[in-house]
Amino acid sequence: MPDHTISSTPIAPPNDASKTQLVQWAIGRISAQDLDSLRNFWTADTTVYFPTGTCHGHAEIAAYFEQVFAALADFTLEIVSVAESGHDVLVHWHLTGQHVGAFMGIGGTGRHIDLEGFDHFIVENGHVVTNTVRYDQMEFARQIKLLPADGSVADRALKAVFNGATRARHFARRR
């Protein structure tokens, strides 16, 4: 079970751990908002591909998470399932929090966030080489009320306007 304990002293990644155990440790450290410990897991060469952009090196990755932690009060990240094959570790996760600060240019809304997503880690020699993070950004937008609920009157109207504009552009290109 990952350690989610908040600590002021960095906690080293476990020695002689499997890649799955290293990733479980990292998810626990993220949930505990322990970026100092994670700097031992990320390197200057680590690249993380977030849906919102790419971060290179432990400093950029830590800065990204600092923004996330500032934007989401009561941030928790829990593993739903994990699978390992060779250097690859795939994690299905569940994230919750309250959107209280700016994230992706959107000011805090006070809305509760409850998302699931996936991380695909490539781990070599006890460190992350790359990590690709995916979650449903439209679901996030709906939860903070940036987008209307799927199937709602507002959603149907938005889609109708979009589809009309798309048809108009298509018709204009054919002329």
| Per-residue pLDDT reduced to its tens digit, 131-143 | 999 999 999 999 9
Helix (H) or strand (E) holding 162: helix 153-174
Q: Could you tell me which residues come within 8 angstroms of residue 17 by beta carbon, excluding any fewer than 6 positions away?
A: 25, 126
pLDDT tens for each residue of 11-32: 888 888 999 999 999 999 999 9
Cα–Cα distance measured from residue 117 to residue 142, given in angstroms and rounded to the nearest whole number: 16
Looking at 33-42, 92-101, 125-134, which range is the least confident one? 33-42
| Domain residue extents for the chain | 19-144, 148-175
pTM over 0.85: yes
CATH topology of domain 19-144: Nuclear Transport Factor 2; Chain: A, (3.10.450)
Compute the 3-state secondary structure of the chain and give helix, strand, coil in percent, each to the nearest 5: 35, 35, 30
Instruction: Place 7 in a pLDDT band, splitting at 50, 70 and 90.
Output: low
